[in-house]
Structure 1
Amino acid sequence: MKIALFGASGRVGQAFLKLAGNDEQLDIYALLRSPNNKIGLPKERIVIGNARCREHVKEIMKDAQIVISCLGTDGDDTLSAAMTHILAIMQEQHIQRVITIGTAGILNSRIEPGKYRFETNESKRKLTRAAKEHAKVYEMLRASSLDWTIICPTYLPDGEETGEYRAERNVLPVEGKMITVGDTAAFLYHELLTGNYIGCRAGLAY
């Protein structure tokens, strides 16, 4: 199974590769901006380019069955720009499955129904630019006919996988405060194998 991976050099992307990189059933190909990034994949499975460039996105997605995006917001609209290319190419190449890493800010608010968490006092973050960019991607996926999942961790410190976390559809688990990069990557790997959260935002926390 060929997987096109975006954001492989980020924290969750690297942790995911540690878990899934040796799975013989998965052929993971990654798009990287710099040849100096050491992510543990053979050179023939790496494309050097930029997710904002349609041709680079198309190259990494050739013959893929699943797309995984661990891209961050990068301080601009890179995330939504990349997703625009990804969705168009998925349609062209008849790829149905996509899993992305989002943020807990785009989960449904428990205290103000009909709003995202980042739009309410439920979210402790004062800056909303990144959450708005993630929300744009969510709305793009929701409007598609794809089998999509957005994994939405709350506060995300470095740390290893413990396997002891909570996941809930479209909302953050009650009193959820944090989840490590390792456990977020573990959930991503499990979702890749199971597809338990297709068509959902998965809220993650301890």
Structure 2
Amino acid sequence: MRILVIGGSQGTGAQLASLAEAAGHEVTILSRSRIDRAGARTITGDALDPAVATEAVSGADAVVITVGGSKGSNRHRAAVTRSVIDAMANADVRRLLVQSSVGAGDSAVQLSAPMRLVTKTLLAKPLADHGEQERTVRESGLDWTIVRPTGLTDKPATGSWRAFTVEEAGTLRGTITRADLAAFMLQVLEDDVNIGRAIGVSN
């Protein structure tokens, strides 16, 4: 599979790119930061630029968006997602995987009551961005999956996680390692059963 990772210079995106390469996929990374990475095609540029987004998306089988927030913009994730979706529509690329966050949309119910309060209080602005991002994804008409991790850590991978939609019973834990999240996202990307689902995930 030819996979484009938007925001793959660090964090979960970088770990996902490494896992995808190791699994034999052809990886392209688009990042505003210049990176030199063996085994992956890299594009330095801003996904908000239609020309850059079009160049990156061209030829991809699947696109993954893992971007974070940006200073000076309360809706950076949503804006990047709209730009990438437009490029995908023009290039006839359909598979989209987006990293959101637990607490966005209707997913607060997947947290314990204390965690719901903390999340709502401390993460109001990024969750509003993710909420708009998710609405854009759902309205895109693409073959999308949304992954909603809990708090991210840089601890070593555990190789296990709990993951379910809001329609399924269960409560997520407070954190997940970036390594485990990346592994879960690659698993999701490789299985079409996840199309049209928003999945919460934690360790």
Query: Whole-Å Cα distance in 1 between the matches of residues 187 and 89 of structure 2?
Result: 25
SS of residue paired to 1:104: coil
- State, as a whole percentage, how many aligned pairs show the same letter: 25
User: Which residue matches 2:42?
Assistant: 46
Structure 1 length-normalised TM: 0.85
1:145 and 2:136 correspond: no
How many angstroms apart in 2 are the aligned matches of 1:186 and 1:8?
14
Segments of 5+ residues of structure 1 without an aligned counterpart are 112-116
Hey, what does 1:114 align to over in structure 2? Answer: none
Residues 175, 79 of structure 1: alpha-carbon distance in 2 compared, 3 angstrom cutoff: closer
Cα drift, residue 4 of structure 1: 1.5
Q: Per-residue deviation at 1:18?
A: 2.3
5 Å-filtered alignment, 1:41-120, equals 41-42=39-40, 45-75=41-71, 76=73, 77-106=75-104, 107-110=106-109
Q: Indicate the structure with greater helix content.
A: 2
CA contact (8 A) 1:173 1:205 kept: no
Q: Report the CA distance shift for 1:110/1:22 in structure 2 as closer, same or farther (over 3 A).
A: closer
Which stretch shows the higher mean deviation, 68-77 or 54-63? 68-77
1:157 correspondence with 2:153: yes
Q: Distance in 1 between matches of 2:48 and 2:188?
A: 26
- Stretch of structure 1 that moved more, 184-193 or 164-173: 164-173
Residue 194 in 1 paired to residue 191 in 2? yes
CA distance in 2, matches of 1:5, 1:109: 27
CA deviations on 1:36-76 (whole Å, 9 max, x unpaired) are x344444xx11111122111111111111111111112242
TM-score of the aligned structures, taking structure 2 as reference length: 0.87
**Structure 2 contact 172–201 (Cα < 8 Å) conserved:** no
Q: Offset of 1:108 from its aligned partner? A: 2.6
Q: CA RMSD in A?
A: 2.2
2:202 is matched with: 205
Equivalent pair of 1:157/1:180 in contact (CA under 8 Å): yes
Amino acid aligned to 2:10: G
Summarize deviations over 1:117-140 as a string: whole Å, max 9, x none. 8xx972413231111111101001
Kindly indicate whether the alpha-carbon contact (under 8 Å) linking 2:107 and 2:200 is maintained by their aligned counterparts in 1: no
Q: Which amino acid aligns with 2:178?
A: V
Give the stretch that moved more between structures: 180-189 or 163-172. 163-172
Query: In the alignment, which residue of structure 2 is the partner of 1:13?
Result: 13
CA distance in 2, matches of 1:32, 1:137: 19
Gaps of 5+ in 2: none
- Distance in 2, matches of 1:110 and 1:197, equals 20
Q: Distance in 2 between matches of 1:79 and 1:192?
A: 20
Sort the Cα spacing of 1:40 and 1:134 in 2 relative to 1 into closer, same or farther, 3 A: farther
One-letter identity of the residue aligned with 2:89: Q
Matched residues in 2 for 1:32 and 1:67: separation? Answer: 13
Partners of 1:166 and 1:196 lie apart in 2 by: 17
